[in-house]
């Protein structure tokens, strides 16, 4: 009796094993390792995949994803080659450095979405248009068969996938790459004040950085930060844009990183030059939709810089400073040329819309306060820049306008000083017509009448511009981009631009 029971048990166990591994009978692997077993499990789940079996499939793929979490591509590819499984992912022009599970992938997924959310880290040490600490993009790990061959695919840039004859939505975490890059960039995040006071401490030159691989079909949203800040001030906003299905599909975020010490108009010149260089690099033949449909978001001083992208100066700013043309000034040619370039600009036809967030169009009284004066006195401008500016003013006393003479009497050319309501160039800039639709988001720190309110740094009377396509006052301090209502307004405006492009209006 007992020998017969034992024989039946052995037979049943063999049948169960055969049924479990039937789906992977065609796998050519002879490996008995853990990865081989996990692939076999995923293959069986793939072959029986239906809408009500998504959890089982995802669990199987997750077990594989955990094996490659934190590993390098070469090591993972070697492991997969040994069991005759293809490993594939989208090709971009950067070297792939490492795979990671997205944080939420460690949680149980009960939805109809398939796959496992992953992060792909890319080496950007030789890619000046991307963050210096590396680029992270979102991907979804899926198991499938392609022409009968087993594949682990890391899918990027798609929302749906066809598996075993049916279409499924992909599990994606588009915000996680932003969080990961911000974590790596902590050394920059907290140094905005240091970079303002000591510009030489800033790593590298000013430049525009892409937060995802360039897409010629997506609208760029160029974010320009303000005084004593860095692009990391926009992290929560970028995450919100990435979480929005429509915006993540049709928009790409670029950021401009610069030292906020230099005079506003020279920083604006750096922005214009950086944008020109970026566009020439990305679209040398000038064929892309993206490079002709840019939305610029400028926070605080960044909004003043953005103003120079969407208006034309003519001679108005120069005439606010000097009573003679540049060629009649005495001094070093390079300094005179930089000054002339800073106050002469033409509207950039590639910019389609601009958002001014807490922008001091008419200056900030804080620049005139004792706090502003202390900050301005502590800024250590590059010696060449300071000497050029001083030389132009001291060598040409008769050439300056009365307002310029009075304002530059202190010979302080820092950004803080040039944010004063008395700056003649700033007063000329505010009157330049803006040639694209523009929007204002303004903070109101305390309850009361809007017209006399302030965000604690910029008064409503300075941030308001007539002719805006929209103006929203939110209960907020100066950082309106981090305010929930300010964030919602930015997303609304971006949707307006998407609809305009979609319908050609």
Question: Taking a C-beta distance cutoff of 8 angstroms, is the pair 486, 474 a contact?
Answer: yes
Query: What would the mean pLDDT of 386-392 be, rounded to a whole number?
Result: 73
pLDDT interval class at 251 (50, 70, 90): very high
The DSSP H or E segment spanning 496 is: helix 484-503
| pLDDT on residue 29 | 38
DSSP code string of 82-122: HTT-EEEE---SS-EEEEEE-GGGGS---SS-BSEEEEEEE
Question: Taking a C-beta distance cutoff of 8 angstroms, is the pair 73, 79 a contact?
Answer: no
- Whether the pLDDT of residue 152 is over 60: the answer is yes
pLDDT tens sequence across 350-360? 999 999 999 99
pLDDT tens sequence across 155-187? 998 999 999 889 999 999 999 999 999 988 777
pTM of the complete model: 0.89
Beta strands 86-89 and 96-101 are unpaired
b/e per residue 185-205 (b: at least 16 CB within 10 A): beebbebbeebbbbbeebeee
Query: What would the mean pLDDT of 145-159 be, rounded to a whole number?
Result: 93
Question: Taking a C-beta distance cutoff of 8 angstroms, is the pair 371, 419 a contact?
Answer: no
Q: Which superfamily is assigned to 185-503 in CATH?
A: Alpha/Beta hydrolase fold, catalytic domain (3.40.50.1820)
User: 132 or 3: which carries more pLDDT confidence?
Assistant: 132
Of 19-28, 152-161, 386-395, give the range with the top mean pLDDT: 152-161
User: 140 or 371: which carries more pLDDT confidence?
Assistant: 140
User: 428 or 229: which carries more pLDDT confidence?
Assistant: 428
Q: Where are the domains of the chain?
A: 19-165, 185-503
Q: How far lies 58's CA from each of 115, 170, 335, 367, in Å? A: 5, 11, 62, 57
Rounded distance between C-alpha atoms, residue 488 and residue 476, angstroms: 13
- Whether the pLDDT of residue 108 is over 70: the answer is no
| pLDDT on residue 1 | 40
Using the 8-state DSSP alphabet, how is residue 434 labeled?
P
- Whether the pLDDT of residue 14 is over 50: the answer is no
| pLDDT on residue 319 | 96
Q: What is the 3-state secondary structure (H, E, C) of 134-145?
A: CEEEEEEEEEEE
Q: How far lies 114's CA from each of 138, 154, 311, 385, 451, in Å? A: 15, 12, 48, 56, 52
Query: What would the mean pLDDT of 419-448 be, rounded to a whole number?
Result: 96
- Whether the pLDDT of residue 145 is over 50: the answer is yes
For residue 175 the two structure tokens come to 């915000």
pLDDT tens sequence across 466-475? 999 999 999 9
- Whether the pLDDT of residue 32 is over 50: the answer is no
Average pLDDT, the chain: 87
Return the number of other C-beta atoms located less than 10 Å from residue 392's C-beta: 24
Question: What percent of the chain is predicted at pLDDT more than 90?
Answer: 68
Using the 8-state DSSP alphabet, how is residue 123 labeled?
-
Q: What is the 3-state secondary structure (H, E, C) of 219-247?
A: EEEEEECCCCCCHHHHHHHHHHHHHCHHH
| pLDDT on residue 503 | 67
The DSSP H or E segment spanning 460 is: helix 460-463
Q: How far lies 245's CA from each of 108, 153, 386, 414, in Å? A: 22, 22, 47, 42
pLDDT tens sequence across 63-79? 999 999 999 999 999 99
**3-class state of residue 385 by DSSP:** helix
Of 189-193, 282-286, 404-408, give the range with the top mean pLDDT: 282-286
The DSSP H or E segment spanning 307 is: helix 301-307
Question: Taking a C-beta distance cutoff of 8 angstroms, is the pair 217, 287 a contact?
Answer: no
Q: What dihedral angle (degrees, nearest 10) is formed by the CA atoms of 307, 203, 389, 312?
A: -20
Question: What percent of the chain is predicted at pLDDT more than 70?
Answer: 85
What phi, psi does 165 have (nearest 5°)? 90, -5
- Gap between the terminal Cα atoms of the chain: 86
Using the 8-state DSSP alphabet, how is residue 433 labeled?
P
For CA atoms 199, 204, 206, 212, the dihedral sign is: negative
Rounded distance between C-alpha atoms, residue 362 and residue 443, angstroms: 15
Question: Taking a C-beta distance cutoff of 8 angstroms, is the pair 467, 498 a contact?
Answer: no
Rounded distance between C-alpha atoms, residue 384 and residue 117, angstroms: 49
User: 199 or 24: which carries more pLDDT confidence?
Assistant: 199
Rounded distance between C-alpha atoms, residue 127 and residue 135, angstroms: 10
For residue 103 the two structure tokens come to 């944080």
Q: What is the CA radius of gyration of the chain?
A: 29
């Amino acid at each position: 009796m007992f020998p017969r029971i034992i024989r039946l048990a052995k037979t049943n166990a063999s049948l169960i094993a055969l049924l479990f591994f039937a789906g992977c009978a065609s796998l050519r692997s002879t490996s008995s390792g853990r990865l081989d077993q996990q692939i076999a499990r995923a293959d069986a789940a793939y072959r029986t995949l239906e809408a009500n079996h998504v959890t089982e499939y995802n669990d199987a793929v997750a077990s594989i994803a955990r094996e490659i979490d934190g590993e390098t591509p070469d090591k993972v590819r070697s492991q997969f080659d040994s069991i005759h499984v293809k490993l594939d992912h989208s090709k971009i022009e950067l070297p792939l450095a490492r795979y990671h599970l997205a944080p939420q992938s460690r949680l149980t997924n009960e939805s109809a979405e398939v796959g496992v959310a992953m992060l792909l880290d890319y080496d950007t040490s030789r890619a000046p248009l991307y963050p210096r600490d590396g680029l992270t993009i979102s991907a979804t790990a899926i198991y499938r068969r392609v022409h009968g061959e087993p594949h682990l695919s890391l899918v990027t840039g798609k929302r749906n996938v066809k598996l075993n004859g049916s279409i499924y939505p992909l599990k994606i975490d588009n915000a996680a790459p932003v969080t990961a890059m911000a974590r790596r960039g902590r050394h920059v995040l907290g140094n905005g004040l240091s970079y303002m006071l000591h510009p030489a401490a800033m790593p590298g030159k000013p430049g525009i950085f892409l937060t995802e691989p360039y897409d010629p079909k997506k609208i760029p949203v160029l974010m320009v930060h303000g005084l004593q800040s860095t692009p990391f001030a926009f992290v929560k906003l970028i995450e919100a844009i990435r979480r929005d299905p429509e915006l993540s599909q049709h928009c790409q975020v670029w950021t401009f990183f610069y030292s906020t010490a230099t005079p506003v108009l020279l920083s604006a010149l750096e922005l214009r030059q950086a944008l020109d260089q970026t566009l020439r690099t990305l679209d040398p033949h000038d064929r892309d939709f993206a490079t002709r449909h840019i939305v610029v978001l400028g926070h605080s001083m960044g909004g003043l810089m953005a103003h120079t992208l969407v208006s034309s100066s003519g001679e108005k700013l120069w005439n606010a400073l000097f009573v003679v043309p540049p060629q009649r000034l005495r001094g070093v040619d390079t300094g005179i040329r930089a000054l002339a370039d800073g106050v002469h600009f033409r509207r950039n036809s590639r910019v389609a819309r601009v958002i001014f967030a807490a922008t001091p169009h008419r200056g900030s009284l804080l620049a005139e306060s004792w706090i502003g004066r202390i900050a301005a006195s502590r800024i250590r401008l590059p010696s060449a820049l300071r000497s050029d500016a001083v030389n132009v003013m001291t060598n040409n006393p008769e050439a300056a306008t009365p307002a310029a003479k009075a304002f530059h009497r202190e010979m302080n050319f820092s950004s803080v000083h040039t944010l004063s309501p008395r700056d003649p160039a700033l007063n000329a800039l505010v009157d330049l017509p803006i040639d694209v639709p523009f929007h204002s988001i303004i903070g109101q720190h305390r309850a009361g009448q809007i017209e006399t309110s302030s965000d604690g740094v910029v008064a409503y009377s300075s941030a308001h511009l007539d002719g805006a396509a929209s103006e929203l006052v939110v209960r907020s301090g100066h950082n309106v981009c981090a305010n929930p209502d300010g964030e919602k307004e930015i997303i609304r405006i971006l949707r307006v631009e998407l609809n305009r492009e979609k319908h050609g209006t």
